[in-house]
Each structure stands twice: as C-alpha cells, then as structure tokens.
C-alpha cells in the first residue's frame, strides 16, 4: 500500500481507502462485510470512510464492529453528517449546530471510538448560515471528537468560503469528497484548481463508476445477476445513469488498454484517479474480499502519458465535465 498526505495536512492516509456506502448494513450481509474489512486491513488499507446515513446508521455500526480490537492509532476513520436518517424531524438533517452536535455523538457511539480522524459535511447546507456550521465544526475539533474537518461535493466557491472561515477559527479544513472517475470529471475545471490553491485534498468516491468501468455491463445486455444494477436496496438507482449503450460501448474499448498495462479494468480505473496529484485517496467498496485484493493492486501504479491520452480519446464522447453538476439538495426536500 502507498500513502499520501491528506491535502496539505500532516495526516497520512492510504491512497486506497475502504468505504461502505451501499454495502454494509444493506447490500452485503454482516459476516461478508466483516470479511471485506479484514481483507482491507490485510492488504494494508488503514483509511476507512463511512457516514451516519449509510444504511440508516447500520453501516457505521458494522464498521465499528469490524475494527474493534484494532490499534486505533494505526487507523484513519472518516464519517459524515448532513443527510436525514429514518423519519426525520425538522432538525434531524442539515448542518445546524444542533444536528452536528447530535450526529457526531451518535457516530462515535456506533463506531466505538472516542474520535474520528476526519468529520465531513456530506453536502452544503443552504438553509444554515455557513458561519454556524463552521463554528459547530470548530467545537467538535476543540472537544477532541474530530481531528480534521472536510466536506463532500462542495463547489469551488463553497470550498473557498468554508476554508476562509476555518482559517479564522483556526481549525484544519483539509479535504473534499467528490465523485470522480474516467467518465465523471466535473471537478477538474474549478474544484481541483481551487483545492490545490487552498491545500485541500480530494478523497474521491466511485472511481469505477459504480462498477461500470469494470466492463461487466455490456451494451444491449441485461445486467449480471447479483450486480449492483440488480440491487433493489438503492444500488440500482445509483448506477442507472451510467447504463446507457454509448457509455457501455465506450468502456468496452478500454479492455485492450488495461490488458496492455497488465491491469484489470477495475485496477485501471482506480489507478487513473490516483494519477491526479490533488487526489489524496480513492475510495473502493466491496461485496467480496477478492474485490478488495484486486483493487488494492492499483496502489502505486503509474500510467504513462500515451495510455492516458488513449483513454481520453476513447471516452471523449461520453465524459461529463460540467462544473455546474456539483450540487447540494435543498433541505426542504427531506421534510
């Protein structure tokens, strides 16, 4: 495993992180989830990402159970706050002081730890003054419940303003967690340059585009049985936007490039996001331990310029680059 600094902080994290969105507590049975975490530890992954909303808090509980007994100082545990859980009341979502205070306490209890290494705003909250949000995060840091602060899917302007307030409050705002992969490059135009300027690192989710970049989904064919596209607990909804014949057809053309590089399609996809110097880590998920082993081999891989150009040429018609697609929902939609 290779390691990188998270943004310009001194925190070192595994460049491949293990995440349990859409798996633990929902798509994957608990024993299999525990096996995947054990495998992640075995291949040298030390960074684990979750959120209170994943599987309606169950994912945090499963991760806490899986990491029980591990040396806490040797792990980097990340979680998030924003989305509602269960049947929410008016204050059970968003980034208000009340919700942040209650959510961090719940997350720590479920994870079985006194602190998280990184606490992240899961989206931007337009219904709460940003000053209130950042002051609440400052309290969390000063109480020792989180060491660093990050966000997820914030625009360049939101990152800049949040970072300014964090500097005033003297708390370490070090990361953003966006979707990023060969097909979805909306952060490259504005978010990445702004983050590089501010010292914010990207912890990217969906590096294999929900499994589409593995090549297992074929144009004109039904999804494989047991794949995410057949998961009725949320997985099929998330992947549906990628299951279009032009996208699937273009992805199939990447297979010879992966073979020439001595990589599987999944390894090529994970290695590709790690070529971006602003990426601190790529989050992988897994429903089987062997997937963890496969994806971990993308660590430390260097892709040459000719290969990167060939990928761009093949995927050009289906790449999404519009920065305006980085958005956060109105909290009123949760009520």
Return the H-helix or E-strand segment holding 189: none
Q: Which of 48, 38, 44, 39 is nearest to 2 (CA)?
A: 44
Q: Exposed/middle/buried for 219, CB within 10 Å: 0-12, 13-18, 19+?
A: middle
Scan for tokens 């992947």, then name that residue. 239
137/149 Cα distance (integer angstroms): 7
Q: Which of 162, 149, 147, 145 is nearest to 103 (CA)?
A: 145
Q: Which of 27, 9, 16, 36 is nearest to 288 (CA)?
A: 36
User: Exactly one of 18, 54, 148, 217 is catalytic; which is it?
Assistant: 54
Scan for tokens 């299999």, then name that residue. 32
**Could you tell me where the beta strands, DSSP code E, fall in the chain?**
3-5, 12-14, 16-19, 47-49, 76-81, 116-121, 146-151, 173-176, 201-204, 279-284
> Apex CA 27: angle with CA 228 and CA 39, to 5°?
95
Scan for tokens 């914030």, then name that residue. 154
**Which DSSP string do the residues of 92-127 spell out, in sequence order?**
SSSS-HHHHHHHHHHHHHHHT-S-EEEEEESS--TT
> Apex CA 212: angle with CA 302 and CA 121, to 5°?
80
Told to judge if 54 belongs to the known catalytic residues of this protein, a careful annotator would answer yes
Catalytic (active-site) positions? 54
């Amino acid at each position: 495993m290779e390691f990188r600094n998270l943004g310009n902080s001194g925190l070192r994290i595994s460049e491949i992180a293990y995440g349990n969105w859409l798996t633990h507590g929902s798509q994957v049975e608990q024993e299999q989830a525990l096996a995947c975490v054990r495998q992640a530890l075995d291949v040298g992954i030390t960074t684990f990402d979750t959120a209170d909303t994943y599987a309606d808090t169950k994912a945090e509980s499963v991760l806490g159970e899986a990491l029980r007994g591990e040396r806490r100082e040797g792990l980097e545990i990340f979680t998030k706050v924003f989305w509602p859980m269960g049947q929410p009341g008016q204050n059970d979502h968003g980034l208000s002081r009340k919700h942040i205070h209650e959510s961090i306490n719940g997350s720590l209890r479920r994870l079985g730890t006194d602190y998280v290494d990184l606490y992240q705003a899961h989206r931007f909250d337009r219904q709460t003054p940003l000053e209130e949000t950042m002051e609440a995060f400052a309290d969390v840091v000063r109480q020792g419940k989180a060491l660093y602060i990050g966000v997820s899917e914030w625009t360049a302007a939101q990152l800049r303003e949040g970072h300014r307030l964090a500097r005033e409050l003297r708390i370490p705002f070090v990361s953003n967690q966006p979707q990023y992969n060969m097909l979805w490059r909306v952060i490259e135009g504005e978010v990445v340059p702004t983050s590089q300027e501010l010292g914010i690192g990207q912890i990217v989710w969906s590096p294999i585009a929900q499994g589409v970049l593995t090549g297992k989904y074929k144009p004109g064919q039904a999804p494989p049985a047991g794949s995410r596209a057949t998961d009725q607990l949320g997985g099929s909804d998330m992947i549906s936007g990628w299951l279009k014949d032009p996208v699937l057809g273009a992805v199939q053309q990447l297979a010879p490039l992966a073979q020439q590089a001595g990589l599987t399609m999944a390894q090529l996809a994970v290695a590709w996001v790690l070529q971006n110097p602003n990426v601190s880590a790529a989050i992988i998920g897994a429903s089987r331990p062997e997937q963890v082993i496969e994806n971990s081999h993308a660590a430390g891989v260097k892709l040459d310029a000719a290969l990167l150009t060939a990928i761009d040429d093949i995927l050009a018609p289906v790449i999404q680059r519009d920065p305006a697609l980085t958005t956060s929902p109105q909290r009123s939609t949760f009520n």
